[in-house]
Amino acid sequence: MDQQRVLIITHDVVDENMAGPAIRCWEFARVIGREAKVTLATPHASSLSPSEFDLVRYDGERLEALACESDVVILSGAILWHFPFLRSVDASLVMDIYDPFLLESLPMLSREPGIARRRRHADTLDALTDLLIWGDYFVCSSERQRDYWLGWLNALGRINPDTYDDDPTLRRLIDVVPFGVPDTPPEHTHPVLKGVRPGLSAIDHVVLWGGGVYNWFDPLTLIRAMERVSSQRDDVKLVFLGIHHPNPEVGGHEMAEQTIALSRELGLYETCVFFNDWTPYNERQNYLLEADVGISLHFAHLETHFSFRTRLLDYIWAGLPIIVTQGDVLSSLVEERELGWTVDYESVDDVTEAILVSTESPRGEFDRRFAAVAADLQWKAVIEPLLAFCLEPRQAADRGRFQRDIQSLPSLKLISQINALRRDLNNRDQRLSRLQEALGERKASITDLRGQLETEKRRLAAEHEALRAREEEVGRLRETITEIRQGRVMRFLDGINHIVKGGSLW
């Protein structure tokens, strides 16, 4: 039987220096490549030559050709949004949503101007919704994340009679494939820190920040805690494994710049606190094995609740005791399995105390606990659901029907707007009907009022006519009275004149 052809697409740099997304794709390709023909595609040049799979560089044309030749395509992030032709390939589409990047983008873009931030948030929302609409199978990092994504899938209509009948648990639609650890324990190949790096002695107690520094992390609390620790002990040193992301397209470096600035301000830079530009993936074990405690601090926000801090997996792999902020899935594991110490958000006191306690807790005391946890988190174990899908790929039970109905988030928005307009139009029609009824009643009332007005006008006209007749009669009477008065006066004057002349009135 021919091997299944699996294409894994990443947007990230796949080279000696790799961040979490590229590491995950690399490990997927390595494990799946043992049983299928795997191609890992990246848009960046690479110096690596893996034996278990093919590593290729792509542009849009090359990617389309690779996808059309594949049985399974595994992708994540905004890849489908940038290359929408992937929707129409015959291959089964696996969407890796281990990173809830919509939540991650909120703190990452927090310092951008409001208009630009809202636009980029809308683009991120569109990209995420594309994945959830077009995927045949989804993998995420934890059961907590799965609950989050089930809510999304439900809201987008992907939980429906077709997918339910296919599997009432929906594990055939979405399952958990966490970040893993290598199948073999780490080996120290050469010294990199103690007694080698200037400022670090062979007996120093090294606190390791094992990954990048992004806006959703809280290294500033750690720097302030190190100032307190250094005032009590001069043999405790902090090393950041990587401060500049290997992919220049990745933003959100403001926190890294603030961290360096604060270490300089407090007089700790390169005396108590040290920074690597970035550490090669195949070199990290040397740092992990030379360190005495690993640390990861973050803020209290939604991204934390659904996060899966991949740097903690390296600590677990190397058996490195952990100091971590509470609130996420792996911090709960640290607490439950006694793998280190959990601290409160932004608590300089807690972090200071944990670091000082760690100086009295040898790594060897944790070996048995870490070994038990690491066995369950090996890549070959955690990847089993995805490997099973790749070996027997399928399309989602609702793929044809669902995708004929709805294409993307803009379509969903348009449908929502049309439905809202339809409801608003119905409400307006009802209001118009009520207004027309009221208008009809008003018209009848106005007609009655007009009749009453005409009657009143006629009455007033009659009264006016009668008044005019009365005024004319009064005028005539006044004239008569005047004439009478004038006649009497003349007779009176004539009588007086007669008397004056000696005559008799009689």
Taking Cα atoms as reference points, which of 344, 286, 343, 293 lies closest to residue 315?
293
Q: What is the DSSP string of 173-188?
A: TEEE----B-SS----
Distance CA 327, CA 318 (A): 23
Average pLDDT over residues 142-163: 93
CB-based burial of residue 448 (10 Å sphere; 0-12 exposed, 13-18 middle, 19+ buried)? exposed
Q: Does residue 189 form part of some domain?
A: no
> Does one domain contain both 425 and 465?
yes
Distance CA 157, CA 151 (A): 10
Q: Average the pLDDT over each of 23-32, 102-111, 129-138, 494-503 and give the range with the smallest value.
A: 494-503
Asked which of 193-197, 239-243, 271-275 is least confident by mean pLDDT, the reply is 239-243
Give the pLDDT of residue 403.
58
Q: In this structure, are 158 and 221 located in the same domain?
A: no
Residue 157 within any structural domain of the chain: yes
One domain, residues 417 and 461 = yes
Judgement on whether residues 365 and 253 belong to the same structural domain of the protein: yes
Q: Is residue 137 domain-shared with residue 234, that is, in the same domain?
A: no
The pLDDT-based confidence of 249 (bands split at 50, 70, 90) is low
How confident is the model over 15-32, as a mean pLDDT? 93
**What span, in angstroms and rounded, lies between the C-alpha atoms of 138 and 75?**
10
Question: What is the dihedral sign for C-alpha 405, 411, 416, 422?
Answer: negative
Q: For residue range 98-142, list pLDDT tens digits in order.
A: 988 888 777 777 778 888 888 888 888 888 888 999 999 999 999
Instruction: Return mean pLDDT, the chain.
Output: 88
Pair (132, 15) in one structural domain? yes
CB atoms within 10 A of CB 496: 11
Per the domain annotation, does 196 fall within a domain? no
Instruction: Provide, rounded to the nearest whole percent, the portion of the chain with pLDDT above 70.
Output: 93
Query: Is the pLDDT score of 234 beyond 50?
Result: yes
Read off the pLDDT band of 251 (50, 70, 90).
Answer: low
**pLDDT above 90 for 1:** no
360 with 285, same domain: the answer is: yes
Residue 79 reports pLDDT greater than 70: yes
Do 111 and 61 share a domain, yes or no? yes
Structure confidence at residue 494 (pLDDT): 75
Residue 404 has pLDDT above 60, yes or no: no
Write down the pLDDT at residue 63.
95
Statement to judge: residues 335 and 460 lie in one domain: no
In the prediction, which pLDDT does 505 show? 45
Specify whether the CB–CB gap between 151 and 132 falls below 8 A.
no
Q: Are residues 110 and 230 in the same domain?
A: no
CATH code of the domain in which 95 resides: 3.40.50.2000
Same domain as 136, residue 241 = no
What does the pLDDT look like over 49-59, one tens digit per residue?
999 999 999 99
Q: Is the pLDDT of residue 419 over 70?
A: no
60-64, 305-309, 460-464: which has the minimum mean pLDDT? 305-309
Domain coverage including residue 351: 205-377
